[in-house]
C-alpha cells in the first residue's frame, strides 16, 4: 500500500459531508448528528472527543450503516469512502465493504462477541465473508492474527469461547477481527473505556502499532483527552451532535479556541495540582428532544456566552489555517449576509 501513499495523500480516504443522522422518538425524528462534515486522510488518526451523548458513536455507526434498524437513520448528507458513496448502498453492497475496507471495534468487549461460537469461528467468519480461503488456511490465518494482536497461546485460544477470555483479551480478539482483511479505515468506538488502565495502555499501543504496520486510517472515538494526545493527528470536538472545533492535536492542546474545548481540557485532572474536587463543566448535554433550535447549543453552559449566542447559530469555519471553530467569539463563525 505504501506505493500508493503519495497518490492518496491529497485525496481524503473518507469524506463526510453534511451528515444528519436522526432517531425516531415517539414518531418524530430528532437529529443526533446534525450537519457534520469532516475528512480523514490516509494513514491519519482522527480523534473524536466530547461528552457522553454528543453523537460520537452515532456518527461512527452512520458511516458503517450500523444504526439500529427502524430507530435510527441517515437523513441526509454524503459519506464518501475511497471515492464511493456509502450512504445510499443496499445492505448487500455495504456488506462487501464492512469488515473488509472499513471495520470497527466497539466499546464493550464483554458483549461484542457471540457467546456461543468459538473465537476461531468468529474470526474466520470475516475471512470467509471477504476472501476465498480454505478452512485450513482460514484457521492458520486466524491463529496468526491472534498472535499479531499479542495473544499468547493463539492455537489454544482459537478454540475457546469468549467467556473464557478476559476483557482485554476479548478486545484484542475484536481488533484481530477488525484488521483481518487489512481495512483502509478502522473506526474504534471507545475501545478502551471498559478496560482497566493498564490494559487500556496496551490496547492503545497495539492499535497504534497496527495502524503503522497496516498503513490504515483510524477514527478514534474517546472521551479521554490523554488518549487523544497520545494517539491522534487530528481532533474533532463534538457537542450535542455538532462539530464545534476541528484542528490538529498540538493546536488543540496549546491553543484551544472554543470555550467547550477549553473547559474539556480544564476537566482533565493534573498530576501536579492538588485539588479536592475534580473540575467539571456545569450542566448536561441537552437531550435530543430538548435541543435548542437556534443559537449555539452550548450557550446555556458556556461561561463566555453573550446574548447573541442564544439567537444566532454559529457556523463551523476556519479561524486559522486548518483550525475550524464554531463559536460566535470569532468573526468567522458569524453568519454572513445571504447565508443562513
Partner 1 sequence: MLKYAFRRILGMIPMLFLISIIVFTLAKLMPGDSLSGEIDPRNTNPQYIQEMREKLGYNDPLPQQYFRWIGNFVQGDFGKSTRFKIEVSEVLSERLPNTIMLGLTSIIITYILAFFMGTYSGRKPYTFGDNLIGGLNYLGLSIPSFVAGVFAIFLFSFTLGWFPSNGSVDIGTTEGTLEYWLSRFHHVLLPALVLGLLSTASYTQFLRNDIIENSRKDFVRTARAKGTPERKIYNVHILRNSVIPLITFLGFDLVAIISGAIITETIFTYPGLGQLFLQSVGTRDYPVLMTLTMLFSFLTLVGNLIADILYGVVDPRIRLD
22: contact with partner 1 by CB under 8 A:
no
Please tell me whether residue 27 binds partner 1 under the rule CB under 8 A. no
Considering the complex, state which of residue 92 and residue 307 has its C-beta at the smaller distance from partner 1: 92
Site for partner 1 contains 195 (CB under 8 A):
no
Residue 278 contacts partner 1 per CB under 8 A: no
Q: CB count, 10 Å around CB of 102?
A: 26
The sign one gets for the Cα dihedral 19, 23, 27, 29 is negative
**DSSP state letter for 112:** S
User: Site for partner 1 (CB under 8 A): which residue of 54, 58, 177, 225?
Assistant: 177
Q: Does position 64 bind partner 1 by CB under 8 A? A: yes
Span near partner 1 by CB under 8 A; candidates 48-56, 101-109, 218-226, 247-255: 101-109
Least separation in angstroms between CB 133 and partner 1: 14
**Burial 175-195, CB ≥16 within 10 A → b, else e:** bbbbbbeebbbbbbbbbbbbb
Q: Does 289 bind partner 1 (CB under 8 A)?
A: no
The answer to whether 82 contacts partner 1 (rule: CB under 8 A) is no
- Hey, CA dihedral for 232, 87, 61, 103, is it positive or negative? negative
Nearest CB to partner 1, comparing residues 189 and 234: 189
Q: Which of 29, 31, 90 is nearest to 65 (CA)?
A: 90
DSSP-derived secondary structure for 282-339: SS-PPPGGG--SSS-TTGGG-TT--GGGGTS----EEEETTEEE--TTSGGGSPPTT-
Instruction: Give me the least distance between CB of 110 and partner 1, in Å please.
Output: 9
| Selected binder of partner 1 within 130, 184, 242, 257 (CB under 8 A) | 130
Residue choice 59, 126, 210, 236 for contact with partner 1 (CB under 8 A) = 126
Task: Give 62 or 122: the residue with its C-beta nearer to partner 1.
Answer: 122
**Residue 114 engages partner 1 in binding (rule: CB under 8 A):** yes
Backbone angles phi, psi at 249, to 5 degrees: -65, -35
For partner 1, which residue of 27, 83, 115, 307 counts as binding (CB under 8 A)? 115
- Among 43-51, 119-127, 271-279, 281-289, the segment contacting partner 1 (CB under 8 A): 119-127
The footprint of partner 1 on residues 153-172 (CB under 8 A) is: 161, 163
Smaller CB distance to partner 1: residue 143 or 177? 177
Q: Count Cα neighbours of 60 within 13 Å in the Cβ-side half-sphere.
A: 27
Looking at the chain, which runs of residues are DSSP E strands? Answer: 14-25, 28-40, 45-49, 72-81, 84-85, 102-105, 185-189, 217-221, 234-239, 242-248, 317-320, 323-325
User: Is residue 32 within the footprint of partner 1 (CB under 8 A)?
Assistant: no
By the rule CB under 8 A, 108 interacts with partner 1? yes
Could you write out the DSSP letters of every residue in 65-87?
A: T-SPTTTEEEEEEEEEETTEE-T
Separation of alpha carbons 92 and 245, rounded Å: 35
Q: Which three cell numbers stand for residue 239?
A: 457537542
In the complex, least distance from residue 34 CB atom to partner 1, rounded to whole angstroms: 23
Of the two residues 68 and 226, which places its CB atom closer to partner 1 in the complex? Answer: 68
Give least dist CB 217 to partner 1, A.
16
3-class secondary-structure state, position 225: helix
By CB under 8 A, name the one of 22, 36, 40, 113 that touches partner 1.
Answer: 113
Q: Does 14 bind partner 1 (CB under 8 A)?
A: no
Please work out the total of residues on this chain that contact partner 1, with binding judged by CB under 8 A: 34
**Site of interaction with partner 1 (CB under 8 A):** 64, 66, 68, 91-92, 94-100, 103-104, 106, 108, 111-118, 122, 125-126, 129-130, 161, 163, 174, 177-178
Amino acid at each position: 500500500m505504501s506505493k500508493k501513499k503519495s497518490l492518496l495523500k491529497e485525496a481524503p480516504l473518507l469524506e463526510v459531508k453534511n451528515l444528519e443522522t436522526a432517531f425516531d422518538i415517539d414518531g418524530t425524528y430528532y437529529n443526533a448528528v446534525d450537519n457534520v462534515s469532516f475528512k480523514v486522510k490516509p494513514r491519519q488518526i482522527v480523534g473524536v472527543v466530547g461528552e457522553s451523548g454528543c453523537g460520537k458513536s452515532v456518527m461512527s455507526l452512520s458511516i458503517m450503516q450500523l444504526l439500529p434498524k427502524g430507530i435510527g437513520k441517515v437523513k441526509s448528507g454524503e459519506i464518501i469512502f475511497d471515492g464511493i458513496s456509502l450512504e445510499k448502498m443496499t445492505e448487500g453492497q455495504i456488506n462487501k465493504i464492512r469488515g473488509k475496507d472499513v471495520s470497527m471495534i466497539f466499546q464493550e468487549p464483554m458483549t461484542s462477541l457471540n457467546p456461543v461460537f468459538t473465537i476461531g469461528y468468529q474470526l474466520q467468519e470475516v475471512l470467509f465473508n471477504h476472501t476465498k480461503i480454505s478452512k485450513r488456511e482460514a484457521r492458520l490465518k486466524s491463529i496468526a492474527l491472534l498472535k499479531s494482536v499479542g495473544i499468547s497461546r493463539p492455537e489454544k485460544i482459537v478454540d475457546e469461547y469468549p467467556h473464557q477470555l478476559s476483557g482485554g483479551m476479548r478486545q484484542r480478539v475484536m481488533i484481530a477481527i477488525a484488521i483481518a482483511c487489512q481495512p483502509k479505515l478502522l473506526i474504534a468506538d471507545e475501545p478502551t473505556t471498559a478496560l482497566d488502565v493498564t490494559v487500556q495502555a496496551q490496547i492503545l499501543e497495539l492499535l497504534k502499532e497496527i495502524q503503522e504496520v497496516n498503513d490504515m486510517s483510524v477514527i478514534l472515538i474517546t472521551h479521554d483527552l490523554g488518549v487523544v494526545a497520545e494517539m491522534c493527528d487530528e481532533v474533532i470536538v463534538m457537542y450535542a451532535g455538532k462539530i464545534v472545533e476541528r484542528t490538529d492535536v498540538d493546536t488543540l492542546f496549546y491553543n484551544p479556541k472554543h470555550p467547550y474545548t477549553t473547559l474539556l481540557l480544564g476537566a482533565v485532572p493534573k498530576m501536579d495540582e492538588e485539588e479536592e474536587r475534580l473540575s467539571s463543566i456545569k450542566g448536561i448535554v441537552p437531550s435530543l428532544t430538548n435541543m435548542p433550535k437556534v443559537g449555539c447549543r452550548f450557550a446555556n453552559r458556556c461561561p463566555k456566552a453573550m446574548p447573541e449566542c442564544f439567537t444566532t447559530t454559529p457556523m463551523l469555519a476556519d479561524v486559522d489555517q486548518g483550525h475550524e471553530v464554531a463559536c460566535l467569539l470569532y468573526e468567522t463563525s458569524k453568519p454572513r449576509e445571504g447565508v443562513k
